Amino acid sequence: MRTEYDIILRPILSERSTFLQERENAYTFEVAKDATKPQIKKAVEKIFGVKVKSVRTVNVKGKKKRLGRFEGKRRDWKKAIVYLADKEKKIDFFDNV
């Protein structure tokens, strides 16, 4: 049985995600690769106590990296952008840790 913390792995804090938080009340998370949109929605609602309006997901391919003559690849991962309901409070990541 997977818990909410197995689905939501970590928040993504970047310039783009900060812009989405301020303008569109949307938050970005790294999620489990096999997580579905309804599972992500339930997990965010339970962990943070907010009402989710919609979820968008992106499968991010890992970049190829090189170190001298050795070539490798970063891991593939899944990103979820979660849009909160219009009158919903903000999520503060540093208080919920």
C-alpha to C-alpha distance for 14 and 29, rounded to whole angstroms: 11
Q: What is the pTM of this model?
A: 0.88
In the chain, where are the structural domains located?
Answer: 4-84
For 26-83, write each residue's pLDDT tens digit.
999 999 999 999 999 999 999 999 999 999 999 999 999 999 999 999 999 999 999 9
Quick one: fold of 4-84?
Answer: Alpha-Beta Plaits (3.30.70)
Q: What angle do CA 19, 6, 97 make, to 5 degrees?
A: 55
- The residue count of the chain comes to 97
